[in-house]
Structure formats: C-alpha cells, structure tokens
C-alpha cells in the first residue's frame, strides 16, 4: 500500500524527520488560503500515487499567495500523465501547498526490505537524488549502503557512517544522524516495505529537510495499523486495480505485453521468471489464491484482457483444491461467457491434468494448451510477438 506524499510526510514528521510547512488543499480557494498562512513563495504539488510529477508539470512554484489560485486550478480536477501513470494518467484530487525552500544541495536517503540479504538496508547517495534508479545502475559506487541487524535494528554507528559518506560535518552531521535514525523509526513503526526521502535537501539555512517522501506499507501488516490502513483511498487506484480489489484478487500492473494469472504467489513469481527466461515481457500479474471457479476465472481473465498493452494471457494453475477437469471446465465457461480480444495460453498441473487439457482443447482456437511451464511461456511469448507458437 502506497501513501500520498503528504501522508508519508506526516508519518515521518511524527517520528522526528524535518519537513517543510505545508497544508493539503482540495479547491483553488483552499490552496490560496493555505499559501497565505504559510507566507512567502510556495510549491503546489499534485498528490497522486505516481512518480515523475515534476517533469510532468505536477509541481508548480508560486512567488506569492496571489499566484496560487490559478496555478492550483491548473492541477485540480485534471489528469496528470507521468512516466509511471501510463497514458490514462491519474486524476488530481488534492494538492499539497508547501513552503518553498532555498536549496544548496540535494541528496538521497531511503530504507527498504532487501530480500536477497534478508535485512532492512539503508541506502544514501551524496548526489542529486532525482534520478536515483539510473544512478544505481550506472554508477553504483555512489550509493552507500548499510544493512540493519534484524533484531537490533540500525545502530547509531551505522547512521554516523552513512552521514559521513554523505560528506556532512559539524551540525549538519548531527542532523543527518538524527534524520537517518528517525527514518528507521518511521520504517519500523509502520511495518513498511520501503521509505524514501528523495530529495533530501540541505537548505541555505543549513537545515536538512525532506522535500519529498514516499512510504510503501506491507499490506499483510495493515491489520496492526488501522490508522494507516484508513489512509488508503480506493479512488487513487487504477480502474483495473480497483476492479480486482473489489473481487479480492491480487493484481499488479507491469510494463509488459503478457498478462499472467496463477493460483498462489510462489507459482505466480515462478511464472514471471519463466516468461522472462523465454525472453518475454511480463505485464499484468493476477493471483487468484485457492479460488478457481468459473466466476473468479471469468473476472480474472476479463481484467487481464482489458489492459490494452496485453497481447496474450498466460494461465498457470496447479489444481490442488479441485481436479484439473473442474478447473478446465471453469476456464472454458469463462472464455465462452465473455469472449476475449486476446489469445489465452493455459498450463494445468495436478490431479487429472490430461483430462483437463482434453477439455480445454474443446474451448476453441483462442485457447492454446501447454503441458509444462516453459512450453506455456514460449507459446505466450510467440503470440505476444504475432507469431504462431510451435505445437
């Protein structure tokens, strides 16, 4: 679960992270009044769950409160298209009106769960943090990392090493250590998956300030944090995400051309790996859990096929709670009830798999049957590229 910028900043501020003074506004008039309270130049920032807002015109500067209302009107009620939203963009319902800081230098600061190292890892960079992903790929030496102990957490000496790596001295060194430890408190107290301050600004007044913040929460831990769970706004989800959530389906949008469905997170991840091993581009991921009846399968297929970027759907089901012929019959009914605009590749495994495959072959030419995972992935990749798959 992602939080909006102003929500993430509120949580960070509660843990001791310095943020600019700001207020959320839902109308141009509210934005003007917020700017009057803050005084001086302000930033007007579109609040959507996507990055790249600045480059897309979603962050505007007003020299005084008199400029705020027309600028806020340019954002509120409009769809902002960024590098992360897709062509449909996201509707701007609120803006954050925030004091404009005079910045001497910008840095990057973040914590995330690193599953490879089985630890929470602190990452900092002494360079401008706006292109941190490209920086990490092109010049990893500019990213300094510290892994926190799973039981003891991030230690003060590690925060001091990170502050030193950023080049801080004197009072700003103390501020950096304080902010890093405050960030870890914010991370742990929310059961977060990741938290970022990007950019972290050193202002001309020599204050370290979080100019932007992102906080991603572990959805499995939301029951422990009802105050944070209430911040989730269904309107911020994409139409397909909202549709999947309504049916209690786990759906994640990815930038590929092969949508895939599986029953179980492990099988879903293995399916994605197999698609990539076959040189394909995995797109929308949908996990249906232990439900494989015709109604669930129909809705899942429709969600995947509704994405205009998807050119083929790959279904990978291990029939553990029902025999394969039951799952196959449900898939046939799903395809016949609502014809899809894309072909479907199906791989079934489990009890009576051969009988399940026989039933699937009666569904028509748009359903392609595969015996194993790699065959299924290879056929899906071929179809995604407009080729006829090998039989």
Residues 324 and 354 in one domain: yes
Beta carbons of 296 and 230 less than 8 angstroms apart: no
Region 171-192: mean pLDDT is 97
Residue 359's pLDDT band, with cuts at 50, 70 and 90, is very high
Please give the Cα distance from 129 to 142 (Å, whole number): 11
Q: What local confidence, expressed as pLDDT, does residue 136 receive?
A: 64
pLDDT in tens, 194-231: 999 999 999 999 999 999 999 999 988 989 999 998 89
Mean pLDDT for the stretch of residues 20-44: 96
Do 249 and 377 lie in a common domain? yes
Closest CA relative to residue 143, chosen from 154, 128, 158, 159: 128
pLDDT band (50, 70, 90) for residue 26:
very high
pLDDT in tens, 277-335: 999 999 888 888 777 778 888 898 999 988 888 999 999 999 877 789 999 998 998 88
Same domain, 282 and 358: yes
Q: Is residue 251 annotated as part of the catalytic site, yes or no?
A: no
pLDDT for 129 beyond 60: no
Say yes or no: 243 and 377 in one domain: yes
| CATH for 80 | 3.30.1490.20
pLDDT tens digits along 47-73: 998 888 998 999 999 999 999 999 999
Do 195 and 253 lie in one domain? The reply is no
pTM of structure = 0.73
> Same domain, yes or no, for 206 and 327?
no
- Domain end residue (candidates: 53, 70, 99): 99
Please choose, from the candidates 384, 387, 353, the residue with its C-alpha nearest in 3D space to the C-alpha of residue 370: 353
The answer to whether residue 132 scores a pLDDT higher than 70 is no
- Is the link from the previous residue into 199 a cis peptide, with omega within 30 of 0? yes
pLDDT of residue 321: 75
Boundaries of domain holding 127: 103-229
> Is residue 126 located within the same domain as residue 210?
yes
Q: Based on the number of CB atoms within 10 Å of its own CB, is 267 exposed (0-12), middle (13-18) or buried (19 or more)? A: middle
**Residue 179: Cβ-neighbour burial (10 angstroms; 0-12, 13-18, 19+):** buried
Last residue of a domain, one of 194, 229, 264: 229
Q: Confidence band (pLDDT; 50, 70, 90) for 265? A: confident
Which residues are within 8 A (CB) of 109 and not within 5 positions of it... i.e. 6 or more apart? 122, 123, 124, 129, 179, 180, 183, 196, 197, 198, 200
Catalytic hit among 196, 241, 287, 299: 196
98, 106, 107, 108: the active-site residue: 108
Tell me which residue of 146, 137, 149, 216 sits closest to 180, measured CA to CA.
146
């Amino acid at each position: 679960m992602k939080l909006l910028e102003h929500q993430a900043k509120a949580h960070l501020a509660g843990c001791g992270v310095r943020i600019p003074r700001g207020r959320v506004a839902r109308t141009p008039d509210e934005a003007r009044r917020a700017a009057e309270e803050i005084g001086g130049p302000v930033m007007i920032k579109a609040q959507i769950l996507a990055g790249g807002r600045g480059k897309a015109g979603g962050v505007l500067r007003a020299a005084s409160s008199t400029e705020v209302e027309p600028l806020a009107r340019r954002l509120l009620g409009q769809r902002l298209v960024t590098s992360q939203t897709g062509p449909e963009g996201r509707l701007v319902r609120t803006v954050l009106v925030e004091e404009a800081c005079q910045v001497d230098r910008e840095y990057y600061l973040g914590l995330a769960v690193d599953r490879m190292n089985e630890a929470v890892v602190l990452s900092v960079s002494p360079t401008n943090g706006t292109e941190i992903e490209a920086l990490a790929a092109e010049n990893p030496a500019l990213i300094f990392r510290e892994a926190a102990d799973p039981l003891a957490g991030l230690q003060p000496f590690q925060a001091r090493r990170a502050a030193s790596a950023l080049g801080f001295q004197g009072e700003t060194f103390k501020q950096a250590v304080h902010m890093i430890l405050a960030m870890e408190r914010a991370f742990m107290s929310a059961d977060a998956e990741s938290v970022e301050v990007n950019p972290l600004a050193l202002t001309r007044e020599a204050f370290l300030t979080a100019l932007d913040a992102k906080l991603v929460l572990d959805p499995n831990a939301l029951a422990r944090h009802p105050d944070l769970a209430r911040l989730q706004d269904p309107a911020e989800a994409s139409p397909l995400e909202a549709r999947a959530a309504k049916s209690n389906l786990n759906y994640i949008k990815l930038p590929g051309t092969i949508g895939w469905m599986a029953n179980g997170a492990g099988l879903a991840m293995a399916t994605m790996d197999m698609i990539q091993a076959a040189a394909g581009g995995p797109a929308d991921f949908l996990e249906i859990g232990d439900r494989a009846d015709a109604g669930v399968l129909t809705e899942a297929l429709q969600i995947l096929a509704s994405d205009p970027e998807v050119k083929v759907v790959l279904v990978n089901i291990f029939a553990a709670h029902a025999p394969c012929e039951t799952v196959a019959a449900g898939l046939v009914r799903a395809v016949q009830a609502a014809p899809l605009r894309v072909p479907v590749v199906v791989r079934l495994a489990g009890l009576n798999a051969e009988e399940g495959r026989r039933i699937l072959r009666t569904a028509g030419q748009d359903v392609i049957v595969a015996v194993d995972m790699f065959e299924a992935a290879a056929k899906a990749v071929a179809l995604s590229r407009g080729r006829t798959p090998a039989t």
